[in-house]
Structure 1
Amino acid sequence: MMPTIIDRNFDINKLHHSAVSVALRLNDKGYEAYVVGGAIRDMLLGKTPKDFDVATNATPEQVHALFRGSRIVGRRFQIVHVRMGRDIIEVTTFRGHHSESDNKNTAKQGRSGVLLRDNVFGTLEQDAIRRDLTVNALYYDPVEDTVIDYTEGLRDIAARRLKIIGDPETRYREDPVRMLRVLRFQAKLGFDIDSATNQALNDCAPLLAQIPAARLFDEFLKGFMAGHAKPFSEILLQTPVWQELFPDSAQYIDAKVCYRPMLFAAMGNTDQRINAGQPVTPAFLLAAILWPAVEQGLDLALARGEAPIPAMQSVGQDVILRAIERIAIPKRFTTMMREIWDLQMRMDRRRHRKPLEFAQQKRFRAAYDFLSLRAQAGQDVGAVVDWWTQFQVEHPELESHRQQQHQDEPRKRRRPRPRRRPNP
């Protein structure tokens, strides 16, 4: 394949000096090295990238030996994290084609085509073809000050199009998470999806059931906690992917006309907080995503004559147990989700002889915000929301109490990494 090579046409000041330094040092030692991927795409679009990756023909061991403080990570495909001051640059070795005859670095595939291990090294051209999207397969050469394109990514950026490299169904079978990446980039960039890429995505969505639940939670964080949760959720709901990630939500999302507006309002508010640098928690979004299933189950329990609060607790627990079969939501988040749901039943002011004590509970503000979203979406809870809104206005000390609670929360300590013992 003959690449398209153009002179750099983006602002060099947006290119992080640490990434360039890593690439130039590898070049100085006789290796090929390029800044690659989303950073180049974003700069060509006039955006300021946050993450910078370097691709090289040096093996992980050679990169590790060249940079002090670096470490090799990953199992499915090994990469090197190179620390440059406060920055960590991710360095990958060019990936090659899979070959059963390659005895040193092998790729292992499951029966369905999923790549279990992918430590096959190759050339720059092979690395470009092995990447997921054409717009992410662009390389900046800091020595020649040029951009290298093997997959017509420059053309697709100009057309604002997302296109899988190679046969889309094969690439999705290799790694079904690529479907989430395609939709995430659509939400982030506002690009259209190529027709073949989109058709294969709809056909292959059930493959996500093969992905470990823990990895899907990581992908949830990337998609919903990066400042574009609202467009991401709107896009997902138009595909079978939502059903694969949140089957309970998919079943009941249209049971009431208010559920979709409430979900999108929760996503939009989270995006605003992230873009304003304010703290957010995945628990709130997950509580909103699963609320249709919770409320529908609660309505059935109440119709059977069950007491409201025990019914809410039972239904909430059942919904969470089903959800974590698909996405491994950590306990600290499921606990908060249950508390938000439980407090929905307790916020009727007529139940509280001491409303100030109730409003000082740890999850009161999250539950109040959740109730406000329900009212905003048209649920019949407006009078309760208005009462608690006025109550907080009349008791401004509640805000300082909440801030103190936040400061008093125990910080999660990182476990020290065990030292490696030398081989005997």
Structure 2
Amino acid sequence: MKQTSPHVYTRDQHPVSRSLISANALKVLYRLNKAGFDAYLVGGGVRDILLGLAPKDFDIATNATPEEIKALFRNCRLIGRRFRLAHILFGREIIEVATFRGHHDSDEKQQKPCQKTSKQNEHGMLLRDNIYGSIEEDAERRDFTINALYYSTADFKVYDFANGLADINSRTIRLIGDPQTRYREDPVRMLRAIRFATKLDMTISPETEQPIKELASLLGNIPPARMFEEFLKLFLSGKAQANYHQLNHYELLKYFFPIVAQAIEQQSLPFINSFIETALKNTDDRINHNKRVTPAFLFAALLWYPLQRQIEQLREQTQLTPQDAFFNALGEIMAEQQRSIAIPKRFQAVMKDIWVLQDKLTKREGKKAFKTFEHPKFRAGYDFLLLRAEIEQEPKLQELAKWWTDFQTNNHETQKQMIKTLGRPSARRSPRKRRKPRATTAPSKP
């Protein structure tokens, strides 16, 4: 970063106001200042206000160490191994406070050697990063220019260390420093660049974009648990479809869903891409209308066709029953997927329910329809069926989807009648021909 001193914008030169900041974040800022520490609202909270958006996160940067922060707040807990953070708890709201980060080459210059730890792996990725420094160093360590903006409640000024305001005005996502080095330090920055671009309707700058495909393989070193967290940010933020397109464009989807990416590239599963696209669009619509969503539904949609192919292959190669083939295929698909994303068991259970219900929904005779209707995950299974019918356009599947749609809207007596009429052919069978009575012969006369 060439800029050595910040551009400073006074109160009348920017729209950031305390009225737009969380009351709890203000409490933290005031207490840190009162204790003699420097403290700033930083990152997304400042960026979003400058973009005219309502900020959701209020992160704070300070020259106080995590231990000094904890001593000031009884409602504080320290977290993180890679970089130590303080979380100040106000009910459900968490204010994250980070100590100014310093440069790795200045490790030996730390005034508090007991606080310093830094470790990188052979790829240049930071494993631990507890190097503390000044606000200037902290700004240089931030990922994107639009996140190196600091607001002080002490003087009401915005400090811009990386020409972030200019990039906000030009709607540009730009890494601070050398992109190759920054991506090697943390490959997840490639995903963050995509996420910020779609979320904020911005464009990734050419120099930030250029190394992504070249360094994409570094994402293979990210722990599956962290990839799950990144999946949630990318696919449950109301921009899932746009992020899916970008992951495909930069050839990054395979680090989330290797089986899916391979099937799309080889065009080996005809419906998979349109099925996923529609599921993502529906998820975005629900999120943007403040409706509930579960990542389990998306996981089920993404892996449905690979699962079906696996079942078919097992049926062809073995003598397994349909049920055994399903559970064997399920185990194989999930074991493979878990190597990329650590899907928690609670979501795996819902995925299995959605998939099992696709078979149960076809079995409606007797009491089976009512039992399926009472299943806790019926609605998710039914929505999944509707999605399949929409994409595959298979008449029997469409008829089944319509039947269940009608079944839900009718009263109990009509539902029982619907079940009774199952199996009756739409066209009448020709009536049975009556057997002609056998001709009886008259008894012979004696």
Does the TM-score normalized on the shorter chain lie above 0.5?
yes
SS at match of 1:377: helix
Q: Which residue is equivalent to 1:363?
A: 377
Q: Which residue is equivalent to 2:431?
A: none
Equivalents in 2 of 1:311, 1:257: separation in Å? Answer: 22
Q: CA deviation at 1:112?
A: 1.1
Q: CA deviation at 1:303?
A: 4.8
Equivalents in 1 of 2:24, 2:350: separation in Å? Answer: 39
Equivalents in 1 of 2:412, 2:10: separation in Å? Answer: 59
Equivalents in 2 of 1:299, 1:379: separation in Å? Answer: 20
User: What is the alpha-carbon root mean square deviation over aligned residues?
Assistant: 2.1
Select 2:7's aligned residue among 4, 9, 27: 4
Q: Which residue is equivalent to 1:58?
A: 64
Q: Which residue is equivalent to 1:287?
A: 300
- How many residue pairs are counted as aligned between the two chains? 397
Select 2:330's aligned residue among 316, 334, 344: 316
Equivalents in 1 of 2:171, 2:369: separation in Å? Answer: 54
Q: CA deviation at 1:316?
A: 2.3
User: Which consecutive unaligned segments of at least 5 residues does structure 2 have?
Assistant: 414-446
SS at match of 2:383: helix
Alignment of 1:161-310 (within 5 A): 161-253=172-264, 254-304=267-317, 307-310=321-324
Q: CA deviation at 1:260?
A: 2.0
Q: One-letter code of the match for 2:191?
A: L
Tell me if the contact between 1:36 and 1:52 (Cα under 8 Å) persists in the aligned partners.
yes
Q: CA deviation at 1:354?
A: 3.0
Equivalents in 2 of 1:352, 1:326: separation in Å? Answer: 43
SS at match of 1:237: helix
Q: One-letter code of the match for 1:30?
A: G
After superposition, the C-alpha distances for 1:290-341 in whole angstroms (9 at most, x for unaligned) are: 1231133234345558654433332222111100011111112112212222
Q: Which residue is equivalent to 2:122?
A: 111
Q: Which residue is equivalent to 2:392?
A: 378
Does residue 346 (structure 1) correspond to residue 360 (structure 2)? The answer is yes
SS at match of 2:249: coil
Q: Which residue is equivalent to 1:387?
A: 403
SS at match of 1:392: helix
Q: CA deviation at 1:373?
A: 1.1
Q: Which residue is equivalent to 1:18?
A: 24
After superposition, the C-alpha distances for 1:33-59 in whole angstroms (9 at most, x for unaligned) are: 100000111111111111101101111
Equivalents in 1 of 2:400, 2:337: separation in Å? Answer: 29
Q: CA deviation at 1:360?
A: 1.6
Q: CA deviation at 1:362?
A: 2.4
After superposition, the C-alpha distances for 1:97-133 in whole angstroms (9 at most, x for unaligned) are: 0035354312111111111110000011110110111
Tell me if the contact between 1:115 and 1:175 (Cα under 8 Å) persists in the aligned partners.
yes
Q: One-letter code of the match for 2:233?
A: K
After superposition, the C-alpha distances for 1:124-153 in whole angstroms (9 at most, x for unaligned) are: 111011011111111111122111111111
Q: Which residue is equivalent to 1:134?
A: 145
Deviates more, 1:338-347 or 1:319-328: 338-347
Q: One-letter code of the match for 2:104?
A: H
Q: One-letter code of the match for 1:111?
A: E
Equivalents in 1 of 2:154, 2:364: separation in Å? Answer: 72
Equivalents in 2 of 1:44, 1:396: separation in Å? Answer: 56
After superposition, the C-alpha distances for 1:186-206 in whole angstroms (9 at most, x for unaligned) are: 221121111121121211111
Distance verdict in 2 for CA 1:121–1:352, change over 3 Å: farther
SS at match of 1:61: helix
Equivalents in 1 of 2:90, 2:301: separation in Å? Answer: 40
Instruction: Give TM-score, length-normalised by structure 1.
Output: 0.88
Q: One-letter code of the match for 1:94?
A: F
SS at match of 1:291: helix
Computing the radius of gyration from Cα coordinates, the structure with the larger value is: 2
Tell me if the contact between 2:360 and 2:372 (Cα under 8 Å) persists in the aligned partners.
no
SS at match of 2:292: coil
After superposition, the C-alpha distances for 1:269-288 in whole angstroms (9 at most, x for unaligned) are: 22232333332211111111
Q: CA deviation at 1:352?
A: 6.6
Q: Which residue is equivalent to 1:81?
A: 87
Equivalents in 1 of 2:344, 2:22: separation in Å? Answer: 34
Q: CA deviation at 1:396?
A: 7.5
Q: Which residue is equivalent to 1:416?
A: none
Q: Which residue is equivalent to 1:408?
A: none
Tell me if the contact between 2:16 and 2:46 (Cα under 8 Å) persists in the aligned partners.
no
Equivalents in 2 of 1:333, 1:17: separation in Å? Answer: 35
Percent of aligned pairs with the same amino acid: 44
